Structures are given as C-alpha cells and as structure tokens.
Structure 1
Amino acid sequence: MNQHTLSMRLERVAAHMPAGARLADIGSDHGYLPVALMRRGLIAAAVAGEVALTPFHAAQRTVRDNGLEKQITVRRANGLEAIEPQDDITAISLCGMGGETIRDILENGKARLSGQERLILQPNGGEQPLRQWLMENSYRIVSEELLSENSFYYEIIVAERAGPVVYSAEELYFGPLQMQARSPVFLSKWQRILRHKQQTLAQFAKARQAVPDVKVHEVAQQARWITELLG
C-alpha cells in the first residue's frame, strides 16, 4: 500500500468521502489516504494528524514527496487537537483503531466538532460502543459497509449529525443498516461469531470457577440475538 495504491479497506473509506471535502485524517499514519485523495482531485484540502513521532515524520515525507505541502498540513497532535477552526473541516476520517479508541477521540475532542462534518469511521472491533456514542451525540448512521480482507472483517461507519436518533440494543450491536442489508459477508461474519459465542458458553459451563452471572447472561443474549438474526 502507498499513496498510489490504497488497501481495499482504505479504498472503501475513500468512496464515502464527499467530493471537494476539507478532510481531517486523524491517526493518518503515512498520510496515504489524504495524499491519494488529493492526487485524484477528490478533496480540496486536508489535515493529517498523528500523535506518534515516527508516523508523523512518515506522513510529512509522503506529503513532501508528492509536492502537496500547500494542500495538506501535517500536524503532530493528540486526536482532534490536530484540527484548527480556520481549517473549515467538512469530513473527518478515523481508521484502523479500536472502536473504543475512536469513541474516546471523538468524546475528548467534542469541542472541535462543528457538527457539520461527515464522520467516516473504520473501527477494528468495538463497533457497539462507537455506535452508542454516535447515537448519544445525535449522529445518524447514513451508511455502513462490511468487507473481508486478509481473513479479517472490517466495518466502515459513516455518520452525520442530524438531531436526536434512537437505535435499539440489537441495532447498536449489529449496525442498523447492516441488519437491513444482510449482505453475504455480513451473514458470514455473524455465523463465525455465533460459533465463537457457543464455544464460550460451553467453556463457561465447564469452568471450575463460577463465571459471573452478568457475563454469562451477556454472552447468552448475544448468541440469542445472532441466532434470531441468522434465522
């Protein structure tokens, strides 16, 4: 993967970018996503934010090597602290981190969100607490996508602030739009997870030490939801 050829995961993230967006790519790593989007003429400007020194320098190098220093600003900052008011950001991407980490970045940086941005989120697990945060902060999920790459499942969640929104516990767990679409990759993912849940429940039953009732109940409920979903 480089600024010319993105991974399938980042290509799908790119597909949800509004044309002419002013992007903040938080946790930009090498800066491949904003550079690729800029080279294709799909965005107007970008900020690449990175808290760790090595990827920060890598992003600077990628931007410099492509002659895009005027269009893409690389900032070393923690989370949404990379965004300044004068950036006029219209899209924020957060990719390749746990859902809880993305949630915490959004929560800690809430003051820097205008509410006009499209959020394009690609969590590695932890989607449920992330969707919970979106609901509690009046973000409606406008698109969801699930893809399988190198035997991993990746979810992309696109959200926009749209006033109060309510999702059921099951919708937060599976994804409200994914539940409706029921794509083959979605069903395959949940078949795999159901097998894992059933194995976990069997291990709980054999465990020498009592597993807390609340934990058993949680896993059993999830297994029940998945069974009903696949039914």
Structure 2
Amino acid sequence: MNEIKLSKRLKAVADYVDNGARLADIGSDHAYLPTYLMQKALINFAVAGEVVKGPFEIAKNHVSEAYLSDRIQVRLANGLGAIENTDKIDTIVIAGMGGILISEILEAGKEKLSHVKRLILQPNNHEESLRQWLVNHQFVIKNEEILLEAGKFYEIIVAEPLSKLMTEPSAKPSVPLSADLMAFGIELSLNDLTFGPFLSKEKSIIFQQKWQKELNTLNKIIARLPEEQVEKRQEVLNQIARIEEVLR
C-alpha cells in the first residue's frame, strides 16, 4: 500500500500526537490517521475504533493492505469501548464529530481516561460544550488550532489531565487558572469557552474569518427579527456584542 496522504485537517491532528504514543483513534473511519502515523514510525501501537460495520471493514482492509495488522487493532465498538486496559493507551483522538457527541463519548467512557496523558479532539461544532466538559472533568486545554479546509472551519483542542500537569516538575498550566487552583478547579471564562482560550488570544486570520462570518449571519437574523420579540433580539444582540469585542 502506498504511503497515506492525510487531509489538511487530519495532518494538523496528527501533529499533536507525541512520538512513541499508544494511540486510540475513535471513529477512525478508514484508519488513515493511525496508518499514517505508523508508516512514519511515530507511534508504537494503535487502536482504530469504529461503531459502523461498513467503515470498520474498510479500515480493517486498509490496515491489512499496509501490513500493519499486528500493530494497529481495528475494533468494532461504541466510543471508548474500543479500548482495553491491556492496550495501555496514553493518547486518544476523536475527530470529525460534533462537540456534544465527543463529550458524550468521553462521558460514557470516563473510566478509560485514568491513564490517558493527552486528548486530541476535533469537534465540527459546539466547541464550547466540549470545552465545558473538559473543564468539568479536570482537563486543562494545552493547545488549540483553527484551520480552513474546503470552505469549512475546523478547531482542534488538545487537553491533558490536571493530575498529570500537577506532577510535572515546575509545571505551569498554559491556560490562566483561577484562584480555585487551590482546590484543583479549572476556571475558563465564557469567552474562553466560546472562542477558545488560545484561539481568542492568537486571533489568527482564520479565527477572524470564522467569527466575521458568524457575525454576518447574526446581523442578518437581527435585521429580520420583529421588534416585539424582545428577548430573542436581546439574545442575538448580546452574541453580536461578544463577537465584536473579541474581534477588536
């Protein structure tokens, strides 16, 4: 099998996987990501989890054609149910799903996260819900990236457990933590949850394009909303004000 060529989105996800990782790619589709990383000798072992029979069979065939069946286990399972304790997985990728679904997958498989050192998540929407889940479950966002591919905006969120960060020598979380840190609580503002603690500071061109597009949509909505819909208008106006503030 020829060397795998990843899409821009998946290549960006791959860049956050540490050398020598033991990877679980949940919703792996064609198992392109673990195959690419294994071909580059960047990971030691991988599980490709797929919940749908068709993509599962395709992934199995791809891994077999790449002669990697001994190092990439393709499993038909729901979410983190694909991971077994003996796998010693330290890195989990969940990419190409809605943020709420990713949160639900993590919630349903919480017990599988105790030895995980890194989550690399790429939600297609509802990023704020996913960030809130991470905050609620003591994960610190270490990095974020936004990219544009084929006319779509994608955000990547890299998170690590607070417990891991607190045991690292001279560890300082990258994201400002509130005084609650004394109680090991992570605090993100509403803007951090919505726009991303890193993305809203970097304000890249692509970040600005995404939120300018959202702003244009909201402005069209407000123009069509009747004056008597006071509450709805106020809600939209508040959203507009927050986006304008972050774009300044």
TM-score when normalising by structure 1: 0.94
| 4+ runs deviating over 6 angstroms | none
Please say if residues 103 and 129 of structure 1, whose CA atoms lie closer than 8 Å, have aligned partners that are also in contact.
yes
Letter paired with 1:197 = L
Separation in structure 1 between the aligned mates of residue 100 and residue 17 of structure 2, nearest angstrom: 23
> Does 2:193 match 1:172?
yes
Separation in structure 1 between the aligned mates of residue 26 and residue 234 of structure 2, nearest angstrom: 37
Q: Please state how far the C-alpha of 1:102 moved relative to its aligned partner.
A: 0.5
Equivalent residue, structure 2, for 1:19: 19
Q: Please state how far the C-alpha of 1:113 moved relative to its aligned partner.
A: 1.0
Q: Please state how far the C-alpha of 1:114 moved relative to its aligned partner.
A: 1.2
Deviations 1:166-190 (A, max 9, x none): 1001110000011111111111111
> Does 2:63 match 1:63?
yes
Q: Please state how far the C-alpha of 1:212 moved relative to its aligned partner.
A: 7.8
Supply the RMSD in Å over aligned alpha carbons.
1.5
Q: Please state how far the C-alpha of 1:228 moved relative to its aligned partner.
A: 0.8
Equivalent residue, structure 2, for 1:8: 8
Deviations 1:107-157 (A, max 9, x none): 111111115330000111110100010111111110100000111101000
Matches within 5 A, 1:19-58: 19-58=19-58
> Does 2:204 match 1:187?
no
Equivalent residue, structure 2, for 1:202: 223
Separation in structure 2 between the aligned mates of residue 172 and residue 87 of structure 1, nearest angstrom: 32
Separation in structure 2 between the aligned mates of residue 43 and residue 57 of structure 1, nearest angstrom: 23
Equivalent residue, structure 1, for 2:242: 225
Q: Please state how far the C-alpha of 1:218 moved relative to its aligned partner.
A: 3.2
Please say if residues 23 and 93 of structure 1, whose CA atoms lie closer than 8 Å, have aligned partners that are also in contact.
yes
> Does 2:136 match 1:136?
yes
Deviations 1:58-110 (A, max 9, x none): 11001100111110101100000001111100100001111111111011111
Unaligned segments of structure 2, at least 5 residues: 163-183
Q: Please state how far the C-alpha of 1:230 moved relative to its aligned partner.
A: 1.5
Matches within 5 A, 1:119-130: 119-130=119-130
Q: Please state how far the C-alpha of 1:205 moved relative to its aligned partner.
A: 2.6
TM-aligned CA distance change 1:220 to 1:33, over 3 Å: same
Aligned length: 226
Unaligned segments of structure 1, at least 5 residues: none
Separation in structure 2 between the aligned mates of residue 218 and residue 137 of structure 1, nearest angstrom: 29
Letter paired with 2:111 = A
Separation in structure 2 between the aligned mates of residue 216 and residue 186 of structure 1, nearest angstrom: 25
Letter paired with 2:239 = Q
Equivalent residue, structure 1, for 2:97: 97
Q: Please state how far the C-alpha of 1:3 moved relative to its aligned partner.
A: 5.7
Letter paired with 1:227 = E
Equivalent residue, structure 2, for 1:113: 113
TM-aligned CA distance change 1:130 to 1:212, over 3 Å: farther
TM-aligned CA distance change 1:79 to 1:182, over 3 Å: same
Separation in structure 1 between the aligned mates of residue 186 and residue 88 of structure 2, nearest angstrom: 26
Separation in structure 2 between the aligned mates of residue 119 and residue 133 of structure 1, nearest angstrom: 12
TM-score when normalising by structure 2: 0.87
TM-aligned CA distance change 1:3 to 1:222, over 3 Å: farther
Instruction: Give the match's secondary structure for 1:205.
Output: coil
TM-aligned CA distance change 1:42 to 1:224, over 3 Å: same
TM-aligned CA distance change 1:110 to 1:228, over 3 Å: same
Separation in structure 2 between the aligned mates of residue 199 and residue 114 of structure 1, nearest angstrom: 46
Please say if residues 22 and 90 of structure 1, whose CA atoms lie closer than 8 Å, have aligned partners that are also in contact.
yes
Instruction: Give the match's secondary structure for 2:198.
Output: helix
% identical equivalent positions: 46
